């Protein structure tokens, strides 16, 4: 499985057809599904029909860069006519009559939708263990989690089942699984990609974004996904950007000359696994070798990120998930004596434990007498965190650090300890609270052979800068080209079938 950019070149050169690569992708998905469980729904017929249409467009000439590229969407993004489950029993059979904005944009860009990827239920989780459709496994070690909540999207790219996928990032749900599976994931600035058709978890934090193998592919996808959407009142109306614009410039010996990389003390302290710290340190040395300078700085309020996040996100979720009441669509309990019982049984049966936990927490922090102490206070601290970052970006262009404190952990290892699980988000949630862009790129491996992610964060609308730094790093390293064992096995099987 090649990258999006490589496939695009081959498709436009007519050396391969979209039908061929789509069939290859479908075969890989089928083979890997028992091992990885990365998909909830595969749309073979729809994919092949789209691929044929793409081939026709390519034959006519003037096709778009993404025409004919197979893609999968996280199952939290609405796809017209193809079921969208959110990894929940509640929506096990739900088929939307409309496309999410980013889905429509990628469809219009000519991509071929092969299926919907597995995820933590309603995007609530950091391990992909909370899906009603079963845990997703990490292609680097199938006893380990792939991260979450976009775990299926990350595993699918890491295992080379599709060249790229979409995800959504509310507290790290793109970047954390990207880090744990050795791929790239970008959370754009809040408002750059529309939330229309993204089933809301925490509205003020939810951000759609791409997952792919390298920075260039992320840029190509973001070019298609970004744009103002009048159906989302928080969507930003700004001139379109070409996120690949800096990537093709000739690479001087020191391509990162003049780039100032901030290193917050808070990201390099206790709690970071030694192997992760080591890989990140090596990556930072590499960035310096490419010409970047590093600046030590402090983000004093950032230590409150996780508590603030776990007040605001559940609060919004508790309200957002109220619409799943069994009245109009989705799961409804079979037996109930009255309205209250219909609600309580429907929701007791339809939601899993983690979703219920967050609804309870969210309901509590919004309740009368607690609102000021929790929700209001959290929003105030949220502004302090944003101020820390705005100040920091006066001293640096990019902030770097580990994406996660540890590499992928074993399935079940943290399942009984929600707080331990939540601490996995310690480095990622701040970007959601501030709305600033951030991405994770592969930067090495632990001695156990598990990928380590380097997080690059930037100021509002600094996506192009992040992608440029990531691209220069990837020109000098090959972490992003390493293939997981499951991917290799799948490729062999898929090749033999052809």
Q: By CB under 8 A, which span of 76-84, 145-153, 276-284, 416-424 interacts with other proteins?
A: 76-84
Q: Which of 84/244 has CB closer to other proteins?
A: 84
Smallest gap, in angstroms, from Cβ of residue 151 to other proteins? 20
Contact flag: residue 309 with other proteins (CB under 8 A): no
Are 399 and 392 in contact, with CB atoms under 8 Å apart?
yes
Query: Do the Cβ atoms of 429 and 171 come closer than 8 Å?
Result: yes
For residue 440, indicate whether it is catalytic.
no
- 176: nearest Cα among 363, 418, 351, 405: 405
Among 8, 74, 88, 305, which one carries the catalytic annotation? 74
Cα 398 to chain centroid, rounded: 20
Do residues 450 and 144 make contact, with C-beta atoms less than 8 angstroms apart? yes
Which x/- pattern, by CB under 8 A, does the window 91-120 give for other proteins? x--x-xxx-x--------------------
**Residue whose CB is less far from other proteins, 274 or 341:** 341
Beta strands in 272-339, from DSSP E residues, in sequence order: 293-297
- Residue 95 phi/psi, 5° resolution? -120, 120
How many Å apart are CA 471 and CA 429, to the nearest integer? 24
Minimum CB separation of residue 119 from other proteins in Å reads 14
* 349 part of the interface to other proteins, by CB under 8 A: no
Is 213 exposed, middle or buried (CB count within 10 Å of its CB: 0-12, 13-18, 19+)? buried
Candidates 7-15, 48-56, 189-197, 472-480: pick the segment binding other proteins (CB under 8 A): 189-197
Compute the least distance from the CB of residue 317 to other proteins, in Å: 11
Structure tokens at 428: 């990622």
293: nearest Cα among 139, 398, 374, 165: 398
Minimal distance, residue 323 CB to other proteins, in Å = 4
Rank residues 234 and 395 by Cβ distance to other proteins and give the closer one: 234
Strands (E), 152-191: 164-169, 184-187
Whether 149 is catalytic is yes
Segment near other proteins (CB under 8 A), from 1-9, 12-20, 364-372, 382-390?
A: 364-372
Nearest to 219 by CA among 244, 249, 198: 244
- Fill in the DSSP letter of residue 364: H
Under 8 Å between Cβ of 400 and 455 = yes
Per-residue contact flags (x/-) with other proteins for residues 365 to 384, judged by CB under 8 A:
-xxx--x---x---------
Which 200-229 positions form the footprint of other proteins (CB under 8 A)?
200, 202-204
318 is catalytic: no
Active site residues: 74, 149, 173
- What are the residues binding other proteins (CB under 8 A)? 77-78, 84, 86, 91, 94, 96-98, 100, 195-200, 202-204, 230-234, 315-316, 318-319, 321-325, 327-329, 339, 343, 363, 366-368, 371, 375
């Amino acid at each position: 499985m090649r990258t999006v950019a490589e496939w695009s070149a081959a498709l436009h050169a007519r050396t391969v057809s979209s039908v061929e690569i789509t069939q290859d992708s479908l075969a890989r998905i089928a083979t890997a599904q028992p091992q990885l469980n990365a998909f909830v729904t595969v749309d073979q017929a729809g994919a092949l029909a789209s691929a044929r249409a793409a081939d026709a467009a390519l034959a006519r000439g003037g096709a778009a860069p993404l025409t004919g590229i197979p893609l999968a969407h996280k199952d939290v993004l609405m796809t017209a006519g193809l079921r969208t489950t959110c990894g929940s029993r509640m929506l096990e059979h739900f088929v939307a009559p409309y496309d999410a904005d980013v889905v429509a944009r990628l469809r219009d860009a000519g991509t071929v939708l092969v299926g919907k990827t597995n995820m933590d239920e309603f995007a609530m989780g950091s391990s992909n263990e909370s899906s009603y459709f079963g845990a997703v496994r990490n292609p680097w070690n199938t006893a380990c989690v792939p991260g979450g909540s976009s775990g299926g999207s990350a595993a699918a790219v890491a295992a080379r089942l599709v060249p790229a996928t979409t995800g959504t990032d509310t507290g790290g749900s793109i970047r954390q699984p990207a880090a744990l599976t050795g791929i790239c994931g970008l959370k754009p600035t809040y408002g750059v990609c529309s939330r229309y058709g993204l089933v809301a978890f925490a509205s003020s934090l939810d951000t759609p974004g791409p997952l792919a193998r390298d920075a260039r592919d992320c840029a190509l996808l973001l070019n298609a996904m970004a744009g103002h959407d009048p159906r989302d009142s928080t969507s930003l109306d700004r001139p379109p950007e070409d996120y690949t614009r800096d990537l093709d410039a000739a690479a001087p010996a020191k391509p990162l000359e003049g780039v100032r990389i901030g290193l917050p003390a808070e990201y390099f302290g206790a709690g970071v696994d030694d192997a992760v710290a080591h890989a990140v340190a090596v990556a930072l040395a590499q960035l310096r070798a490419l010409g970047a300078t590093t600046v030590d700085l402090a983000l004093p309020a950032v230590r409150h990120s996780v508590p603030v996040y776990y007040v605001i996100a559940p609060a919004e979720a508790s309200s957002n998930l109220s619409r799943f009441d069994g009245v109009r669509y989705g799961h409804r309990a079979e037996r109930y004596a009255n309205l209250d019982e219909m609600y309580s049984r429907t929701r007791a049966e339809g939601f899993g434990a983690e979703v219920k936990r967050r609804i309870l927490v969210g309901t509590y922090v919004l309740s009368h007498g607690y609102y000021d102490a929790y929700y209001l206070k959290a929003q105030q601290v949220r502004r302090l965190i944003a101020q820390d970052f705005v100040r920091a970006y006066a001293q640096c262009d990019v902030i770097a650090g580990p994406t996660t404190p540890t590499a992928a952990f074993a399935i079940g290892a943290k399942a009984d300890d929600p707080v331990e699980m939540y601490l996995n988000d310690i480095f990622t949630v701040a970007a959601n609270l501030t709305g600033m862009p951030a991405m994770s790129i592969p930067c090495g491996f632990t001695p156990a052979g598990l990928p380590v992610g380097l997080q690059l964060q930037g100021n509002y609308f600094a996506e192009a800068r992040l992608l440029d730094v990531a691209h220069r790093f990837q020109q000098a390293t090959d972490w992003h080209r390493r293939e997981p064992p499951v991917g290799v096995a799948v490729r062999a099987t898929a090749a033999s079938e052809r």
